[in-house]
Amino acid sequence: MPGSVLLWTRVTPTPDALPGSGTGPDVSVGWEVAVDSGFKKIVARGTAGTGPARDHTVKVIADRLTPGTSYWYRFTLGAAVSPVGRTRTAPAAGAPVDRLKFGVVSCANWQAGYFSSYRHLAARGDLDAVLHLGDYLYEYGPGEYQARDVVVRPHDPAVEMTQLAHYRRRHAQYKTDPDLQALHAAAPFIVTWDDHESANDAWKGGAENHTPGVEGTWSERFTAAHRAYAEWMPVRYEPGGTIYRRLDFGTLASLSMLDLRTYRDQQAANGADSAISSPTRTITGAAQMDWLLGNLTSTGPQWKLVGNPVMIAPVRVPSTLSAAELAGVQKLMGGTSISGVPYNVDQWDGYEADRNRVVRHLRDNSIKDTVFLTGDIHSGWACDVPADPATYPATGDSVAAELVCTSVTSDNLDDILNVPPRTGSVGVENAIKAANPHVKYLDFDSHGYSVLDVTPAGVRMDWYVLAERTDAGSGSTLTTSFNVQTTTGKVTPAQGGIA
């Protein structure tokens, strides 16, 4: 926010006050905010209480700060002093802003490898914030979902998380990762959840990976997942509230972070299910849709960025792929198939009426400079969002752009096909791009992170890929860049990395 930042930490005041334990004393934690990393000029300080009721996590809103300014913060508990973190306030409303730079990540499965992507982003030192688009953690137990067949590092607790204590311990385990710690210390996070923060393919009444009865009710599980999320994540969300929210960055950009799990109807059975186009089904819920359309307006900041947990551009998988390829794509995209051809009913593809509402709103009002920033699908994409998919091949009319970051570690197509990277997947990518002319870039194999550069002239995403996700010291390489030039709503290839 322009005048405030959210600070987060977790304390262990006594040896038994372990995550998920529900034990330990209530304590008061001190915090300080300074304009320098050496804390010579402290501009805000205070104390915050915590205890077992919130798993000894601490959230502080430090306010009365200067917009568009970097700050450093630390916590104290008794004689203990935390490591120092850097954060940054957003520019003031209406202030001209020349540039914003974000790290963009999603889909970080602890069991599938190391979080080298976070380390590389932390080392940049030039990020205004990190956008985490969901699947910050995974619910599975060891052996249920990992790097191909290899559990690189097992989850704790060693079971699928279904209860509050499980969710708390799993969050705590992820927070021990040094690369994740480094990135949290380097830049503020702007987060939303996707499904794995609760369970795979979650919807408002259940999830694909939830068995009522054996795993309790969905309501209980969902409530536990959200409570642990509120406790353990640096986000202005508390149970009972909404996580979808808008952040503004002067005149340059707004960022609408979506919640596409809490209000959505159950996924359709398959791609031929008439429910897909039913006007009564929703992925956003009515209130969030009204809010979103209200944000996509010509009266606010220039760029309308949307933190979008699942893809909105339509994706048709061609039936010409081999049976093995189709099976692999289906496993990657999830959902179901008709005659072996997959269709992702979990994306906006499965909720066409809601997608039409967004597309029609953008088209009817000629809203320019909307960019969907997406995760979920463990692959890198750059797409136009067609005004009408049927006529797009002839007209090229696009109402927005969609830029999809790949997974930090989670399996993708080469892993599923069990082939080396950039071999068996390349033909599949080409076939999908041919069947979907609005898809300009697709990498089904790589793991890594993206960097987003926002200026009045354009929005650009760089895709960096890891050499090896199972190597804790993996390097990363810039492979692809795409630009969305202002007013065009189209993605075009760009050269070189973001300076």
Partner 1 sequence: MSRSTNHQPTPGRRQFLQLVAAGGAAVVLSAAPGAAWAAPAAGRTRSYVLVVDGCRPDEITPALTPRLASLRAAGTNFPAARSLPVMETIPNHVMMMTGVRPDRSGVPANAIFDRSEGVVRDLDRPTDLHFPTLLERLQEQGLTTGSVLSKKYLYGIFGTRASYRWEPQPLLPVTGHAPDAATMDALLAMVDGPDPDFVFTNLGDIDRVGHSDLTGTTLRAARETALADTDVQVGRFIDHLKDTGKWDSSVVMVLADHSMDWSLPSNVISIDLILQARPELQSNVKIAQNGGADLLYWTGSDADRAAGLAAVEQLVAAHQGVLSVNRPADLRLGAEAGDLVAYCRAGWRFSDPYVASNPIPGNHGHPATEPIPFFVSGGSPAVVKQSVSSEPARTADVAPTIGRLYGLKAPAGGYDGTARTAALTV
Q: In the stretch 258-297, what mask flags binding to partner 1 with x, by CB under 8 A?
A: ----------------------------------------
Q: Is 386 in the site for partner 1 (CB under 8 A)?
A: no
Of the two residues 331 and 368, which places its CB atom closer to partner 1 in the complex?
A: 368
Chosen residue from 38, 79, 214, 364 binding partner 1 by CB under 8 A: 364
Sign of CA dihedral 298, 314, 408, 485: negative
* Peptide bond connecting 96 to the previous residue in cis, omega within 30 degrees of 0: no
Q: Minimum distance between the CB of residue 301 and partner 1, rounded to whole angstroms?
A: 7
Shortest CB 271 distance to partner 1, Å: 27
Taking CB under 8 A as the binding criterion, the range among 17-25, 169-177, 276-284, 299-307 that sits at the site for partner 1 is 299-307
CB of 368 to partner 1, least distance (A): 6
Q: Binding partner 1 by CB under 8 A: which of 47, 298, 356, 477?
A: 298
Amino acid at 94: G
Pick the closest to residue 209 from 220, 221, 191 (CA basis): 221
Q: How far is residue 393 CA from its own chain's centroid?
A: 30
Site string for partner 1, 88-117 (x = CB under 8 A): --------xx--------------------
Angle between helices 352-364 and 286-295 (to 10 degrees): 20
- Stretch in the footprint of partner 1 (CB under 8 A) among 109-117, 308-316, 405-413, 451-459: 451-459
Show the site string, 196-235: x = touches partner 1 by CB under 8 A, - = not. ----------------------------------------
Residue closer to partner 1, measured from CB, 177 or 369 = 369
Q: Per CB under 8 A, does 148 bind partner 1?
A: no
CB of 356 to partner 1, least distance (A): 12
Measured from the CB atom, is 96 or 475 closer to partner 1?
Answer: 96
> Least Å distance between CB 366 and partner 1?
5
Minimal distance, residue 2 CB to partner 1, in Å? 16
Stretch of residues binding partner 1 (CB under 8 A), selected from 65-73, 176-184, 356-364, 411-419: 356-364
Among 27, 121, 252, 400, binds partner 1 (CB under 8 A): 252
Q: Does 455 bind partner 1 (CB under 8 A)?
A: yes
From 153, 363, 433, 440, residue interacting with partner 1 (rule: CB under 8 A): 363
Rule CB under 8 A: choose which of 51, 250, 314, 421 binds partner 1.
250
CB of 191 to partner 1, least distance (A): 25
Tell me which stretch binds partner 1 (CB under 8 A): 214-222, 409-417, 462-470, 483-491: 483-491
Nearer to partner 1, 387 or 442 (CB): 387
Question: What Cα–Cα distance (Å) separates residue 160 from each residue in 148, 210, 215, 238, 283?
Answer: 18, 10, 10, 24, 26
Task: Provide the binding-site residues for partner 1, judged by CB under 8 A.
Answer: 96-97, 250-252, 298-299, 301-303, 360, 363-366, 368-369, 455-457, 486-489
